[in-house]
Structure 1
Amino acid sequence: MKNKAMSAAIVAGAVATAVAGLTAPTTANAQAKEKCYGISLKGQNDCKAGPGTTCAGTSTVDYQGNAWTLVPKGTCVSMELPGDRKGSLTELDRDLPEA
């Protein structure tokens, strides 16, 4: 019985180590990115698209000001967009869907 308990503990430890190794690069990768509002095309946002939406892919207007996409850190506000639009690190009041 001791051997089974020891084996289970070893397997659990190995799984925990493997999972931690998989999430570490994701965390580091996320740290090198920032949320950029107002740059997503309709249905292509990473998350958040205002009230009544759930998450990824829920924006209903191109360049929707309250929908964001992850971009490399430091690039958001310099993105080239049609018209006089610019990306923003905070939610925008432009290009919102009609209520």
Structure 2
Amino acid sequence: MLLAMMPAATTNLPRDAGDRIVVRLHGDAPEDAKERILRDADVFVPPARHAGFCVPIVEALAAGCKVIAYDNSNTPAVTGGLASLVSLVNVD
């Protein structure tokens, strides 16, 4: 359900940010495309409150992408201080 809400939720971001932001949503991208996307991205924000095993976060960090994620589950241990972590209760 959250994934289905993403296109509508991101529609106004470029306008609200004065066109300083570009949002591209990618579904099941092939491995080579995923690596290219992460290398070219400025920031990776996982679209989930719980990261589980954090594999996408590790892949983003390995590609040199900055990561912003919630500070719950295994994320603090996996990122080891290399990500900007946000409290799950701090929605703003």
Task: Give the TM bin, normalised by the shorter chain.
Answer: under 0.3
Which structure has the greater CA radius of gyration?
1
Q: Name the TM-score, length of structure 1 as normaliser.
A: 0.22
- The higher-RCO structure (CA 8 Å, 6+ apart) is 1
